[in-house]
């Protein structure tokens, strides 16, 4: 209870003193759409830092990116945006037309802003096929584009800057964005896909699970790890620890989705990176072996907030909140289950290898610690 009490105090203090989450985050660009009876308009927003990867903004080479420098190369930025963002209704392609440029200053940086319209639409369509490839052509493979339906007279959405309708990335640059309301089962299906995709591209979540699986086929006897005798014995240990992780991240994901608790993205991602190191270090020096469940539950809360960076900060419509949350949770668990089904049997098959403790468990854990510490430094200090 002592460890649980201490971790609980730490989590409470983090939640109490944490600053609010910003609507914009580094490494993301945004397409905001406004659907009205008159047609569809929008704006594109991206950090000057990301835009500078493809457009030479810093003309005076002083290392500072300013609004004046952006406006000086706005025509180039507009052309690149028009090339990497296209809409299609049926078989008809509708290139965007730029309406103006500006800047938006947020707590995470300055965002270049490009206003646009989607001309020649025959009324308001049921939806639009959207193709978005900004920075996906080798410039920034980790970049993500978020399409937000900010206003929509067809569904009653008004001024919701976090109403995400699509998430784009390398290999996932084309989506159909629907403007008319989705049925409940359609919402569940869409968010199952979001949840599954998020766990599969979330390498930090994957490495945390792997760090927990590495010792699962071994048992501590007299301070030494020895192979387990039966598959069921090892599987039961996995079920217990992953169940705690699932319960924990489901709680924090729900709290974030219900807008009860929100934590800054930088804090959450930094703690997630640290969680991998802590779990891997315990594989080498089993200090928390008997209390690993408590540690996993604690860090699982932060992993849940990490999952919520895709779902919870979105200001989801009340009518779709429950099916969205349910579908996303199911998707996360399906993705997590798939990882376990691949990794755990492999570990079980090689558990009797004489060098398992040294090569797989210890050296593997050292590798995990190295990767996680690099991530921690990068995330904690915004590098």
Q: DSSP letters along 248-284, please?
A: HHHHHHHHHHTTS----HHHHHHHHHHHHHHHHHHHH
Whole-structure pTM value = 0.64
Domain boundary among 127, 152, 181: 181
Domain identity same for 203 and 175:
no
Q: pLDDT tens digit string along 329-378? A: 888 888 889 999 999 999 999 999 999 999 999 999 999 999 999 999 99
Q: Which two tokens stand for residue 57?
A: 């903004």
Domain identity same for 247 and 324:
yes
* pLDDT (0 to 100) of residue 121: 82
- Compute, in degrees rounded to 10, the torsion defined by CA atoms 44, 48, 51, 53: -160
Supply the range of the domain harboring residue 286.
190-380
Domain identity same for 161 and 202:
no
In a domain, 145, yes or no: yes
Domain identity same for 158 and 200:
no
* Percentage of the chain exceeding pLDDT 90: 35
Domain identity same for 351 and 223:
yes
* pLDDT (0 to 100) of residue 156: 76
Domain identity same for 119 and 33:
yes
Strands 164-168 and 39-47, by their bridges, are: unpaired
| Position 31 confidence tier, pLDDT thresholds 50, 70, 90 | very high
Q: pLDDT tens digit string along 140-166? A: 677 889 898 888 888 777 887 767 788
Domain boundary among 181, 214, 231: 181
Domain identity same for 154 and 302:
no
CA 174, 176, 182, 184 dihedral sign is negative
The Cβ of residue 2 has, within 10 Å, a number of other Cβ atoms equal to 8
DSSP states of 27-59 as a string?
TEEEEEEEEETTEEEEEEEEEHHHHTTTS---T
In a domain, 220, yes or no: yes
Domain identity same for 144 and 32:
yes
| Position 20 confidence tier, pLDDT thresholds 50, 70, 90 | very low
Domain identity same for 373 and 348:
yes
The counts of H helices and E strands in the chain are 11, 12
Domain identity same for 154 and 123:
yes
pLDDT at residue 19 tops 60: no
Considering its fold, how many domains does the chain have in total? 2
* pLDDT (0 to 100) of residue 12: 47
* pLDDT (0 to 100) of residue 311: 66
Distance (Å) of CA 121 to CA 35, 40, 106, 148, 252: 12, 8, 33, 19, 42
In a domain, 5, yes or no: no
Beta bridge partners of 146: 30, 167
* pLDDT (0 to 100) of residue 22: 42
The Cβ of residue 262 has, within 10 Å, a number of other Cβ atoms equal to 20
Rounded-to-integer distance, Cα 104 and Cα 335, Å: 36
* pLDDT (0 to 100) of residue 255: 87
Residue 16, SS3 per DSSP:
helix
* pLDDT (0 to 100) of residue 192: 87
In a domain, 359, yes or no: yes
Query: How does the average pLDDT of the chain come out, rounded?
Result: 84
The Cβ of residue 169 has, within 10 Å, a number of other Cβ atoms equal to 16
Q: Which two tokens stand for residue 135?
A: 């920075």
CA 48, 50, 56, 58 dihedral sign is positive
Domain identity same for 272 and 318:
yes
* pLDDT (0 to 100) of residue 317: 58
In a domain, 81, yes or no: yes
In a domain, 11, yes or no: no
To which residue do tokens 């927003």 refer? 45
In a domain, 3, yes or no: no
Rounded-to-integer distance, Cα 351 and Cα 343, Å: 12
* DSSP code at position 180: S
Output 201 or 65, whichever has higher pLDDT. 65
In a domain, 313, yes or no: yes
Domain boundary among 147, 181, 215: 181
* DSSP code at position 163: -
Domain identity same for 153 and 238:
no
């Amino acid at each position: 209870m002592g460890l649980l009490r201490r971790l609980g105090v730490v989590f409470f203090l983090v939640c109490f003193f944490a600053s609010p989450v910003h609507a914009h985050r580094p490494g993301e660009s945004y397409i905001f759409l406004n659907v009205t009876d008159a047609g569809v308009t929008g704006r594109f927003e991206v950090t000057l830092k990301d835009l500078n990867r493809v457009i030479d903004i810093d003309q005076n080479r002083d290392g500072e990116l300013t609004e004046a420098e952006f406006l000086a190369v706005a025509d180039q930025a507009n052309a690149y945006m028009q090339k990497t963002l296209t809409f299609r209704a049926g078989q008809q392609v509708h290139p965007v037309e730029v309406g103006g440029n500006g800047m938006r200053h947020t707590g995470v940086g300055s965002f270049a802003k490009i206003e646009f319209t989607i001309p020649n639409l025959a009324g308001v369509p049921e939806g639009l096929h959207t193709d978005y490839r900004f920075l996906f052509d080798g410039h920034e493979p980790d970049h993500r584009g978020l399409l937000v339906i900010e206003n929509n007279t067809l569904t009653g959405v008004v001024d919701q800057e976090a109403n995400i309708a699509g998430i784009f990335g390398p290999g996932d640059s084309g989506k159909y964005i629907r403007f008319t309301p989705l049925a409940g089962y359609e919402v569940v299906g869409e968010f199952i896909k979001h949840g599954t995709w998020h766990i599969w591209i979330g390498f930090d979540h994957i490495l945390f699970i792997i760090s927990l699986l590495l010792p699962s086929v071994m048992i501590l006897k007299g301070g030494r790890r020895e192979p387990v005798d039966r598959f069921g014995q090892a599987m039961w240990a996995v079920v217990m620890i992953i169940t705690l992780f699932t319960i924990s991240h489901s709680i924090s994901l729900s709290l974030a989705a219900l807008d009860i608790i929100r934590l800054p993205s930088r804090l959450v991602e930094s703690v997630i990176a640290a969680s991998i190191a802590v779990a891997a270090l315990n594989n080498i020096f089993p200090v928390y072996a008997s209390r690993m469940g408590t540690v996993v539950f604690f860090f699982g809360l932060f992993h849940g907030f990490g999952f919520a960076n895709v779902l919870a900060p979105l200001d989801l419509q009340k009518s779709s909140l429950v099916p969205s949350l349910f579908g996303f949770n199911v998707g996360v668990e399906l993705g997590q289950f798939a990882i376990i089904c691949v990794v755990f049997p492999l570990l079980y098959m090689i558990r009797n290898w004489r060098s398992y403790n040294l090569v797989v468990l210890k050296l593997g854990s050292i590798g995990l610690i190295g990767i996680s510490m690099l991530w921690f430094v990068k995330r904690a200090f915004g590098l």
